[in-house]
Structure 1
Amino acid sequence: MELNSIQVLVFLGLTGLIAAATWWFCRDSIGRGEGENAESDYFLAGGSLKWYFVAGSITLTNLSTDQLVGMNGAQMALLAWWELAAVVGLFMLALIFIPVYYKYNCTTTTELLERRYENPHIRALISVLFLLGNVGIFLPAILYGGSLFMINLFDLDISLYIIAALFAVVGAAYAIFGGLRAVAVSDTFSGVLLLGLAILVTVIALNAIGWDLSGVPKERLTLIGAPDSDIPFATLFTGMLFIQMFYWSTNQTITQRAMASPTVREAQKGIFAAAAIRLLIVPPIIVLPGIVAFKLYGDVGDTAYGQLVGDILPAFLSGAFAAAIAAAVLTTFNSILNASAALWVMDIHETYVNKKPNVRRLSFWVSVVMVLMSFALIPVFNNPEASIINTVQQLYGLLSMPILSAFIVGLLFRNVSANAMIASVIAGVLFYGWATNPFGGTPGIDLHYIHVMAICLIGGVAFALLLSTLLGRRPIWDAHRVFSRSPEAMTPIDG
């Protein structure tokens, strides 16, 4: 389709409207990031986020081009399991983890690790792993997916890297100048637009084929994955559950939104609302358009969603949808930047460099460096053999299960040697890298990578407990104190 003035006007108008509405709601907070409450204001919105902003921000932080483009690019129903299983992860966050984060008054999830292990180095190590995942996997994948969609939607004859650069600059501006409050507000406004239009795209796409999926191979319509599929059915009961626990309950980018509410109850309301959206709305919009595209165009991979939207929507709606996708890219990008800045400032810089930095200025430079690094890594995701979502998940397994093992041991036990846990985390990264060889080549273990994740997690927990015992620090079961709401349970007990 040809780019026309209606598309451009609608796109620019809606994009500007979201920016203006975000500024209006956040105008009183612009400029914060200095003084006694700098960290709370900048990274947790001063503890002021209402449940609807929590729900909107969690939803759109996760729902970006790696979902819409990547999952629809797989062109099969099977990938809906990522979203259905996410509901379990959100319930874990609401009922298990959020009360603990509030009880320990955490600004970052990794702060909990320092308190439980009574050691700042385990906190710093896990933060470094989170940062490596953000800059090396999530940020470049988001820039690549969003830029690819725009090119396919408008049939643009322009370098993907030019569009990616625009996304990176504008997304960084939200995170740098507005802090978490601006990120969460823009997420919510953008989320309403994106979800509404994504549902419309799904309905129009099905109408285009008369709601008739005949001719689509049944393996693309089933939810029971074969052993050699992207999601073998057995993995739903092994690594899939742990992936959801990690992503929704320990990942700073997600939990930061819920930790920014004034109370646990307000945060839980937002999380439950996000879970309802994830269950009822998200699965159809991330698989059905891709299946329709398979019937119309064949196996076209990650270009499916952009090509379909460009063909079935009239000009004014395609412009609106482009604005919605742009908003999704920007909000996810700025959410990850803000969370990454929080991890660097609080977990690394304040521990090893300067205990009282200028939060806003330091966050600015952290964001600039991360934007440049992520932009340079876009070629890793350019034309991958697998869909974007599978590439992201398999790569992130290098970090996710070792990180989750540190949280599980820290929550369930006390008197565990921090050095033992650090060694176990490093060993977990090396084991997963050898077992799956995610960068290409022959894997060390002939198992699906999601199964390997479960082995990596269980082995990491067991190795840390055994090594701690050998080092003279016998782990003591402590879950009853961690999850108790009594004030005295917050006080560390020496082993």
Structure 2
Amino acid sequence: MELSLTQVLVFLGLSAAIALATWWFCRDQIGRGTGESAESDYFLAGGGLKWYFVAGSITLTNLSTDQLVGMNGAQMALLAWWELAAVVGLMMLAFVFIPVYYKYNCTTTTELLERRYNNKHIRALISILFLLGNIFIFLPAILYGGSLFMINLFDLDINLYIIAALFAIVGSAYAIFGGLRAVAVSDTFSGVLLLGLAILVTVIALNAIGWDLSGIPRERLTLIGGPDSDIPFTTLFTGMLFIQMFYWSTNQTITQRAMASPSVGEAQKGILAAAAIRLLIIPPIIVLPGIVAFKLYGDIGDATYGRLVGDVLPAFLSGAFAAAIAAAVLTTFNSILNASAALWVMDIHETYINKRPNVRRLSLWVSVVMVLLGFALIPIFNNPENSIIDLVQRLYGLLSMPILSAFIVGLLFRNVNAYAMIVAVLYGVLAYGWATNPFGEPNIGLHYIHIMAITLFSGVALALLLSLLFGSRPVWDAHNVFSRSSEAMTPIDG
């Protein structure tokens, strides 16, 4: 499909409408972030996010080009398990983790670790791991996937890095100047547009093949993965559940939205709405178009979604879909930047450099540095041997299970030596990296999701054992952490 003036005008018009609507809802917040309430205003929207903005922001923060482009690029139904299992992760966030974050009055998820271990260094280490994941994995993957989609949709003869640079500039503007409120509001408006058009693409694509999936290999339609598949069925009962627990319940980029509501109940309503969307809408739109494309074009990898959308959508709608995809890229991008700024400002800068910084100015510089680094790392994902989504999941295993081990130990036990936990976290990073070797042949003949579970359990065990060796005796404390009283508001000695 060649780019036309109509498509350009529709694209620009919808993008401007989303920006204008976001400004209108956030106009009273512009310029805030320099006083006593700076952190709450900038990183938690002043604690005033309604449930529908929580649901919209959680949905769009996760749903970006690494899902739409990457999962459809795999061209198989198996990848729907990532989204179906995510419902479990959201339930854990709603009923297990969110009440605890509110109980401890946390602004960042890592703040909970400092309170439980009574140690600032464990909080800083986990924040650094989150920041490294955002810089080296998520930001470049999002820029690459969104730029690739635009090129394939309109058959553009343009350097991918030019489009990526535009995404980076616009996305960072939302995060820098509007804070979390602007991010969440733009997420919600963009989400309505994207989900509606993604459903339309799925229906039109199925109609293009007469709703007839015959001729497609069985292994591309099954939900029961074999031992050598992308998601072996057995992994659903090992690492998959813990991946979802980590991503939805401890990841600052996601949980920050729910932590910005005025109450636990309001946050839970938003999370449950996001879970319903995740269960009913997301799985079809991230696998069915790819399967249809396999029947139409064969195995064409990450170019699948852009080409299919360009072919099946009427010309007047392709500009609207480009705006929706651009919105998905921007919302995920700016969400990661805002969460990363919160981690750096509160967990690193205020702890080790300056206790009372200008939050907005410091966040600006943090965002600029992250954008430049993320942009420079796009080549990691440009023409990868694996699909975008597969590479993202493999790489993030370096951080996810070690981080989750710190949360599990901290929530279930007290009197755990913080330095024992730090050693266990570093062990987890090195052990997973050696076992899976994400950029080469693995050193252990197990699926990387199984290795994630092994990394998690061994990390928890190592932390408890080392704590005993360091002279601390871990004590089971889950009944206090998850109680409704406010007794746990004080730090636990460790």
Partner SS for 1:205: helix
Q: CA-to-partner distance for each residue in 1:331-371, whole Å, 9 max, x for gaps?
A: 00000000000000000000000000000000000000000
Distance 2:343 2:15 in 1: 29
CA positional deviation for 1:123: 0.2
The residue correspondences of 1:70-469 to structure 2 (distance < 5 A) are 70-440=70-440, 442-469=441-468
Partner SS for 1:122: helix
Distance 2:23 2:470 in 1: 54
Determine the structure 2 residue equivalent to 1:62: 62
Structure 1: give runs of 5+ residues left out of the alignment.
none
Q: CA-to-partner distance for each residue in 1:238-278, whole Å, 9 max, x for gaps?
A: 00000000000000000000000000000000000000000
Q: CA-to-partner distance for each residue in 1:140-187, whole Å, 9 max, x for gaps?
A: 000000000000000000000000000000000000000000000000
- Conserved 8 A contact 1:435-1:445: yes
Q: CA-to-partner distance for each residue in 1:348-405, whole Å, 9 max, x for gaps?
A: 0000000000000000000000000000000000011111111000000000000000
- Conserved 8 A contact 1:482-1:490: no
- Conserved 8 A contact 1:74-1:387: yes
Partner SS for 2:407: helix
Distance 1:101 1:222 in 2: 39
Distance 2:295 2:311 in 1: 14
CA positional deviation for 1:491: 2.8
Partner SS for 1:192: helix
Distance 1:26 1:373 in 2: 29
- Conserved 8 A contact 1:108-1:256: yes
Task: Give, as a single letter, the amino acid of the residue that structure 1 aligns with 2:358.
Answer: N
Determine the structure 2 residue equivalent to 1:474: 473
CA positional deviation for 1:490: 2.5
Distance 1:408 1:261 in 2: 24
Q: CA-to-partner distance for each residue in 1:24-55, whole Å, 9 max, x for gaps?
A: 00000010111100000000000000000000
Distance 1:212 1:54 in 2: 38
- Which range moves more in the overlay, 311-320 or 119-128? 311-320
Distance 1:330 1:413 in 2: 39
- Conserved 8 A contact 1:216-1:295: yes
Distance 2:493 2:297 in 1: 64
Distance 2:247 2:403 in 1: 10
Distance 1:236 1:335 in 2: 28
CA positional deviation for 1:2: 1.1
- Conserved 8 A contact 2:40-2:47: yes
CA positional deviation for 1:229: 0.5
Task: Give, as a single letter, the amino acid of the residue that structure 1 aligns with 2:196.
Answer: G
- Conserved 8 A contact 1:29-1:178: yes
Distance 2:488 2:449 in 1: 35
Distance 1:203 1:470 in 2: 60
Aligned CA RMSD, in angstroms, stands at: 0.6
- Is 1:16 aligned to residue 16 of structure 2? yes
Distance 1:261 1:276 in 2: 19
Task: Give, as a single letter, the amino acid of the residue that structure 2 aligns with 1:69.
Answer: V
- Conserved 8 A contact 1:45-1:181: yes
CA positional deviation for 1:493: 4.6
Q: CA-to-partner distance for each residue in 1:37-90, whole Å, 9 max, x for gaps?
A: 000000000000000000000000000000000000000000000000000000
Structure 2: give runs of 5+ residues left out of the alignment.
none
- Which range moves more in the overlay, 442-451 or 256-265? 442-451
Distance 1:473 1:172 in 2: 45
Distance 2:191 2:493 in 1: 46
Q: How many residues align?
A: 494
State the 4+ residue runs in structure 1 displaced beyond 3 angstroms: 492-495
Task: Give, as a single letter, the amino acid of the residue that structure 2 aligns with 1:190.
Answer: S
CA positional deviation for 1:492: 3.5
CA positional deviation for 1:494: 3.9
Q: CA-to-partner distance for each residue in 1:399-453, whole Å, 9 max, x for gaps?
A: 000000000000000000000000000000000011000122x322110000000
Distance 1:489 1:131 in 2: 28
